[in-house]
C-alpha cells in the first residue's frame, strides 16, 4: 500500500510541475537559510565550552558611579584577587591569573619572530582549563621561573619537527632579554575561546623580570593588570557566592568591588574595558535566530497555503477515492506521503545549497563554519523541529482533503469555505508581516552602519600607517629612544612621507594601549574618585598628524621647563570635572598617579577613539619620549599613483637600516578603525541577504496562490468582460484583496519592528534615528512586491479572450 502511495505521490509532483517547483524551491531556500544562520549561531554559542567549563568563572571589577550605584568596570583585576578569593570563600577551589602579552618577540638561533596572544600564567592553568597538554607534566610545566609552554603550531614554527622539550629560546620584553626553557607543548587553543594563548610563561618569571620594578611582583591592591579565573566547587550556588563576594569588600575600597561571571557567557554578554578579545553580541545572535525561524516558518506557510488551495483542485479525485472505498486515514496518509516526499526533496536541495554557499557565507561572517559530524549532532534538536514542522505543514492540507463530501466533489460543487479562505488570508498576511518586519530591519541596520561610517570621528586616520615592529637590542632605553628619533628623521627624507609621530595608541586601537586611573584632583581641591579616566602617551607632533582640533592651548612644548609633566585633556574630561571653559584649565596642574605636577598644555575637541559604538571617555594624553607606535603620514598623491607596496618597501628598508635586529610589521589606521564595525557590517549584509530570500519565498507563495485564484475566477472574469468590465477594473478586482492583506500586515508590523530595532540600537552609544520614512518605505516596497507578483498574472487574465473561458457554458 505504501509503495502505491509513494508512486501516486511521485506522479502527482511531476504532473504539477509549477506547484512542485514553488514548494520545493521555497522549502529548500527556507531550510538552507535556517541551517546557514544556525551554523553561525551555534558557533557563537559554543565559545568557552570545555570539560568543567560550567564551574569556571572570571572575576572582574565593579566601580562606583555615584551614590550607591555600581557599574561593571574593568575585565582585569589585581594579582591579589585570586589568592584572596580562594582564601576567603571555600566555594573557590582554585584560581589562575594571566598577565596578557599582545605580542612578544622571540629569538631562536639567528631567527627573530613575533608571536601574538601569550600570557604569564599560574601553574593551575591546566587544572582549570582542560585543553590537552601534549608533552610535559601539567603539575610542573609552569612551576619554575623561566618556564614556557608552547602551543603545537607555535612550537612547529620555532623548531620544526624537532622535539622542543628542554630547548631554550630568548624572549624580549621592553628591551629586556629572558632565556626561557620549553617545559611543555599544549594543543592549540580552540578559536571558540575568548582567551587564546600561543604560549604560556610561568607566573614565577614575573618575580625575576627586573624591568618590571623591584616590587612589581608583590601581591597588592594597586595594579589591576591581571585576568583572574576561578574554579568553583560543583553545584555551587553562584548567585549566593556572587553576593557574598560583592558584600565582602576584600580590596577594602568603598568605590570598587569584585564580581564574577561565568566564562561561558563572556563572549556574548560581557563587553567591558580591557577585554582580552573582541566580544560577540547576544542581541545580534537573537536577531539572527529570529530571522532563521521566520524564514523557515515562511516556507512552511507557503506550503500550507498552496497545498490547501490546491486541494480544491483535487476534490473530484478525493471523491472518486472515497466512492471506491478509501478510508479517511488512507487519504491522510496519502497526502502526508506527498508532503514528506516533497520535503525530503527540498532538504536534499537545501543541503546542496548550503555546501555551495558556505564558502561565500564564511567570507561574509569571517568564520570557518562547516558541516561536520559534530555540527550535525548539534543540529539534532533543529532537525527534530524541522521534521515536526514538516509534519504539521502537511497535516492541515491532508485533513482538509479527507473531509470533502464525495457527492459534492463528484458534482463539482466543492467550494472554499469561509473558514478556509480566512485561514489562507491569514497565512498571506503573516507572510507579509514577517517580510515587512525584515524590510524595516534591513533599512534600519543599513542606515545605522552608514551613520557609523559617515559621521566624522574628530580625527583623520587616512593615509597613516603604524609601524609596530619589535627591536631586539641590549641598549639602554634612552639609547633606543634616540634610535627611534633617528628613524623618524630618516623616514622624513622619503618623498612620500608627509609627517611622522610617536604615540602609545591611535583612533581605532583597543583598550590594551590605554592606562586608567581614578581620583584626579584639580588645584582647587575638586576630586573625582568615582570616575575612571583613561590615559596614553604621545609626542608633540601626534595631534597634527591625526588632525585633532585644539579648543584651547596647544600641543606639548619640548623645550618647556616642565617638559616631562605636560598633558592634554579632552572636552569630556572638562565635563567630568565640572569645568565650563577650556581656558580655565590651561597651564593649571592636576594630580594623579601620585604626581601633583601634571600641567595642562591644551584642550582638544572630543574625538571618537573607539568609534561611535562606545561613548567618548575622559582622556588625559601625556607627553613622554617612550616609544610604542611610530606613525607615518603618507602623501596620497604619491601613493595613489604607484600603490602602497613601493612605499612600504622603502619604509621597511629605513627601519632595517636603523634596527637590523628586529621584526617589521605595520597596519593602516583607517583599516584598523573600520575593523571595529566588521561584525556589524557582516550582520547588515546577512540581514539584507536573508531578507531578500524571505521576500522571494513570500513572493513565490503569492505567485502560486494568485495562479490558482485566477484559474478559479476565470469564468467570472469572462462574464465581467462580456458585460463591459475594463482591464483596469479586472485588475482592481483581482488585486484589491492582496492590497488589503499587505495593509493589515503593515499595521501589525509597525509596533513590532519599532520595538525590535530600538532594542538593537541600544547597543550603540551613538545611533541613527528611527525616521518615519523607514517604515513608510518598507510598506511601499512590500506593497510594490505584492502588486508586481500578482499583477502579471492578473493582467494575463484581464486581457484574455472571454470566449475562451465561457466556451464550456
Tell me how far apart the alpha carbons of residues 242 and 230 are, in angstroms, rounded to a whole number: 12
45-59, 137-151, 369-383, 440-454 — which is least confidently predicted? Answer: 369-383
Tell me how far apart the alpha carbons of residues 76 and 275 are, in angstroms, rounded to a whole number: 8
The H or E element that residue 467 is part of is strand 464-467
- Classify 20 as helix, strand or coil: helix
The H or E element that residue 156 is part of is helix 152-159
Confidence bin at 621 (pLDDT 50/70/90): very high
Q: Quick check: 393 pLDDT over 70?
A: no
34-38, 207-211, 578-582 — which is least confidently predicted? Answer: 207-211
Partners of 98 in the β-ladder: 121, 227
Which pLDDT score is estimated for 192? 92
Which pLDDT score is estimated for 85? 95
User: What's the whole-number mean pLDDT along residues 360-388?
Assistant: 78
The single residue listed with the C-alpha cell 604560549 is 199
Q: How far is CA 384 from the centre of its chain?
A: 28
User: What's the whole-number mean pLDDT along residues 228-256?
Assistant: 90
Higher pLDDT, 625 or 400: 625
Q: Is 325 exposed, middle or buried (0-12, 13-18, 19+ CB in 10 A)?
A: exposed
Radius of gyration of the chain (CA): 34
Give the C-alpha distances (Å, rounded to integers) separating 116 from 195, 198, 326, 451, 610.
Answer: 12, 7, 72, 33, 22
User: What's the whole-number mean pLDDT along residues 722-741?
Assistant: 73
Q: What is the pTM of this model?
A: 0.85
Q: How far is CA 773 from the centre of its chain?
A: 28
| Mean pLDDT, the chain, whole residue set | 82
- Classify 721 as helix, strand or coil: helix
Instruction: Give the phi and the psi of residue 747 in degrees, each rounded to 5.
Output: -60, -40
Instruction: Give the phi and the psi of residue 223 in degrees, each rounded to 5.
Output: -125, 105
Check if the beta carbon of residue 557 is closer than 8 Å to that of residue 597.
no
Check if the beta carbon of residue 104 is closer than 8 Å to that of residue 118.
yes
User: What's the whole-number mean pLDDT along residues 263-273?
Assistant: 91
Tell me how far apart the alpha carbons of residues 534 and 608 are, in angstroms, rounded to a whole number: 13
Q: Quick check: 712 pLDDT over 80?
A: no
Higher pLDDT, 470 or 657: 657
Query: Residue 588 — left, alpha, or beta (φ > 0 → left; ψ -120 to 50 → alpha)?
Result: beta
Instruction: Give the phi and the psi of residue 435 in degrees, each rounded to 5.
Output: -65, -45
Tell me how far apart the alpha carbons of residues 396 and 410 are, in angstroms, rounded to a whole number: 22
Which pLDDT score is estimated for 530? 75
Which pLDDT score is estimated for 418? 47
Partners of 668 in the β-ladder: 465
Q: Quick check: 644 pLDDT over 70?
A: yes
User: What's the whole-number mean pLDDT along residues 325-353?
Assistant: 75
Q: Please report the DSSP string for 619-657 in residue order.
A: EEEEE----SEEEEEEPHHHHHHH-HHHHHHHHHHHHHH
Q: Quick check: 692 pLDDT over 70?
A: yes
Check if the beta carbon of residue 406 is closer than 8 Å to that of residue 323.
yes
Check if the beta carbon of residue 768 is closer than 8 Å to that of residue 683.
no
- Percent of the chain exceeding pLDDT 90 equals 34
Which pLDDT score is estimated for 12? 63
Give the C-alpha distances (Å, rounded to integers) separating 595 from 409, 519, 521, 627.
Answer: 95, 12, 10, 21
User: What's the whole-number mean pLDDT along residues 500-529?
Assistant: 85
Instruction: Give the phi and the psi of residue 264 in degrees, each rounded to 5.
Output: -70, -15
CA atoms within a 13 Å half-sphere pointing along the CA-CB vector of 22: 24
For residue 465 the three cell numbers come to 600607517
771-794: pLDDT as tens digits:
899 999 998 988 888 888 777 766
Confidence bin at 482 (pLDDT 50/70/90): confident
Tell me how far apart the alpha carbons of residues 653 and 660 are, in angstroms, rounded to a whole number: 10
Which pLDDT score is estimated for 410? 46
Which pLDDT score is estimated for 409? 45
- Classify 578 as helix, strand or coil: coil
Contacts by 386-393, CB closer than 8 A, 24 or more apart: 386/31, 386/34, 386/296, 386/347, 389/296, 389/297, 389/300, 390/300, 390/339, 390/340, 390/343, 391/336, 392/300, 393/300, 393/303, 393/304, 393/307, 393/339, 393/343
Check if the beta carbon of residue 663 is closer than 8 Å to that of residue 113.
yes
266-270, 395-399, 589-593, 699-703 — which is least confidently predicted? Answer: 395-399
User: What's the whole-number mean pLDDT along residues 160-170?
Assistant: 92
Higher pLDDT, 758 or 519: 758
- Classify 733 as helix, strand or coil: helix
Which pLDDT score is estimated for 413? 47
Confidence bin at 299 (pLDDT 50/70/90): confident
- Classify 527 as helix, strand or coil: strand
Under DSSP, the state recorded for 226 is: B
Check if the beta carbon of residue 89 is closer than 8 Å to that of residue 231.
no
103-162: pLDDT as tens digits:
888 988 888 888 888 999 999 999 999 999 999 998 899 999 999 999 999 999 999 889
Which pLDDT score is estimated for 777? 92
Tell me how far apart the alpha carbons of residues 249 and 251 are, in angstroms, rounded to a whole number: 5
Q: Quick check: 421 pLDDT over 60?
A: no
User: What's the whole-number mean pLDDT along residues 80-107?
Assistant: 92
Which pLDDT score is estimated for 444? 93
Both ends of the chain: CA-CA distance in Å?
Answer: 40
Amino acid at each position: 500500500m505504501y509503495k502505491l502511495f509513494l508512486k501516486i505521490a511521485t506522479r502527482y509532483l511531476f504532473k504539477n510541475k509549477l506547484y512542485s517547483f514553488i514548494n520545493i524551491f521555497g522549502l529548500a531556500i527556507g531550510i538552507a537559510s535556517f541551517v546557514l544562520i544556525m551554523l553561525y549561531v551555534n558557533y557563537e554559542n559554543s565559545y568557552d565550552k570545555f570539560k568543567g567549563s560550567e564551574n569556571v568563572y572570571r572575576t572582574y571589577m565593579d566601580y562606583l558611579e555615584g551614590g550607591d550605584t555600581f557599574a561593571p568596570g574593568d575585565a582585569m583585576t589585581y594579582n591579589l584577587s585570586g589568592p584572596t578569593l580562594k582564601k576567603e570563600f571555600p566555594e573557590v577551589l582554585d584560581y589562575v591569573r594571566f598577565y596578557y602579552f599582545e605580542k612578544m618577540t622571540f629569538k631562536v638561533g639567528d631567527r627573530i619572530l613575533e608571536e601574538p596572544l601569550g600570557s604569564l600564567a599560574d601553574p593551575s592553568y591546566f587544572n582549570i582549563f582542560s585543553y590537552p597538554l601534549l608533552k610535559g607534566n601539567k603539575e610542573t610545566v609552569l612551576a619554575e621561573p623561566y618556564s614556557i609552554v608552547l602551543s603545537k603550531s607555535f612550537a612547529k614554527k620555532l623548531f620544526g619537527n624537532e622535539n622542543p622539550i628542554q630547548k631554550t629560546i630568548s624572549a624580549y620584553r621592553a628591551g629586556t632579554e629572558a632565556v626561557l626553557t620549553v617545559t611543555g607543548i599544549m594543543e592549540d587553543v580552540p578559536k571558540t575561546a575568548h582567551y587564546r594563548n600561543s604560549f604560556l610563561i610561568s607566573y614565577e618569571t614575573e618575580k625575576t623580570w627586573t624591568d618590571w620594578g623591584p616590587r612589581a611582583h608583590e601581591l597588592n591592591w594597586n595594579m589591576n593588570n591581571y585576568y583572574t579565573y576561578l574554579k568553583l566547587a560543583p553545584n555551587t550556588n553562584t548567585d549566593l557566592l556572587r553576593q557574598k563576594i560583592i558584600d565582602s569588600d576584600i580590596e577594602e575600597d568603598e568605590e570598587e568591588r569584585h564580581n564574577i561571571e561565568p566564562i561561558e557567557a563572556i563572549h556574548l554578554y560581557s563587553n567591558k574595558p580591557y577585554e582580552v578579545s573582541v566580544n560577540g553580541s547576544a542581541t545580534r545572535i537573537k536577531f539572527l535566530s529570529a530571522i532563521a525561524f521566520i524564514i523557515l516558518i515562511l516556507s512552511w506557510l507557503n506550503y500550507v497555503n498552496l497545498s490547501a488551495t490546491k486541494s480544491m483542485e483535487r476534490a473530484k479525485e478525493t471523491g472518486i477515492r472515497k466512492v471506491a472505498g478509501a478510508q479517511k486515514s488512507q487519504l491522510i496518509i496519502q497526502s502526508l506521503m506527498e508532503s514528506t516526499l516533497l520535503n525530503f526533496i527540498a532538504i536534499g536541495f537545501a543541503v546542496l545549497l548550503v555546501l555551495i554557499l558556505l564558502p561565500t557565507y564564511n567570507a561574509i561572517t569571517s568564520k570557518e563554519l562547516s558541516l561536520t559530524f559534530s555540527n550535525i549532532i548539534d543540529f539534532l534538536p533543529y532537525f527534530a523541529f524541522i521534521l515536526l514542522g514538516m509534519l504539521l505543514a502537511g497535516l492541515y492540507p491532508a485533513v482538509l482533503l479527507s473531509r470533502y463530501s464525495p457527492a459534492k466533489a463528484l458534482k463539482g460543487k466543492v467550494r472554499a469555505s469561509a473558514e478556509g479562505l480566512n485561514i489562507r488570508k491569514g497565512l498571506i498576511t503573516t507572510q507579509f508581516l514577517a517580510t515587512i518586519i525584515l524590510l524595516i530591519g534591513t533599512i534600519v541596520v543599513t542606515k545605522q552602519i552608514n551613520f557609523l561610517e559617515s559621521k566624522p570621528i574628530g580625527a583623520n586616520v587616512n593615509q597613516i600607517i603604524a609601524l609596530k615592529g619589535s627591536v631586539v637590542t641590549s641598549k639602554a632605553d634612552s639609547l633606543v629612544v634616540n634610535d627611534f628619533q633617528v628613524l623618524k628623521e630618516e623616514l622624513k627624507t622619503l618623498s612620500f612621507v608627509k609627517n611622522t609621530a610617536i604615540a602609545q595608541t591611535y583612533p581605532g586601537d583597543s583598550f590594551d594601549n590605554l592606562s586608567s586611573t581614578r581620583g584626579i584632583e584639580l588645584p582647587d581641591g575638586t576630586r573625582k574618585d568615582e570616575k575612571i579616566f583613561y590615559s596614553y602617551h604621545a609626542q608633540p607632533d601626534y595631534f597634527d598628524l591625526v588632525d585633532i582640533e585644539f579648543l584651547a592651548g596647544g600641543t606639548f612644548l619640548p623645550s618647556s621647563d616642565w617638559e616631562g609633566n605636560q598633558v592634554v585633556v579632552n572636552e569630556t574630561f572638562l565635563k567630568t570635572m565640572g569645568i565650563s571653559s577650556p581656558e580655565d584649565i590651561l597651564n593649571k596642574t592636576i594630580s594623579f598617579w601620585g604626581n601633583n605636577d601634571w600641567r595642562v598644555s591644551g584642550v582638544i575637541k572630543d574625538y571618537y577613539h573607539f568609534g561611535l559604538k562606545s561613548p567618548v571617555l575622559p582622556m588625559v594624553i601625556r607627553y613622554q619620549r617612550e616609544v610604542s607606535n611610530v606613525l607615518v603620514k603618507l602623501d596620497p598623491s604619491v601613493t595613489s599613483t604607484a600603490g602602497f607596496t613601493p612605499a612600504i618597501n622603502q619604509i621597511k628598508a629605513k627601519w632595517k637600516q636603523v634596527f637590523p635586529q628586529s621584526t617589521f610589521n605595520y597596519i593602516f589606521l583607517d583599516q584598523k578603525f573600520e575593523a571595529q564595525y566588521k561584525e556589524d557590517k557582516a550582520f547588515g549584509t546577512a540581514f539584507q541577504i536573508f531578507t531578500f530570500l524571505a521576500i522571494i519565498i513570500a513572493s513565490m507563495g503569492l505567485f502560486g496562490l494568485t495562479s490558482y485564484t485566477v484559474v478559479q475566477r476565470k469564468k467570472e472574469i469572462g462574464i465581467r468582460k462580456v458585460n463591459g468590465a475594463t482591464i483596469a477594473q479586472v485588475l482592481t478586482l483581482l488585486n484589491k484583496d492582496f492590497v488589503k492583506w499587505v495593509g493589515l500586515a503593515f499595521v501589525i508590523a509597525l509596533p513590532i519592528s519599532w520595538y525590535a530595532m530600538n532594542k538593537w540600537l541600544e547597543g550603540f552609544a551613538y545611533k541613527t534615528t528611527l525616521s518615519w520614512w523607514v517604515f513608510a518605505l518598507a510598506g511601499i516596497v512590500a506593497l510594490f512586491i505584492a502588486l508586481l507578483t500578482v499583477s502579471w498574472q492578473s493582467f494575463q487574465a484581464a486581457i484574455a479572450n472571454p470566449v475562451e473561458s465561457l466556451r464550456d457554458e
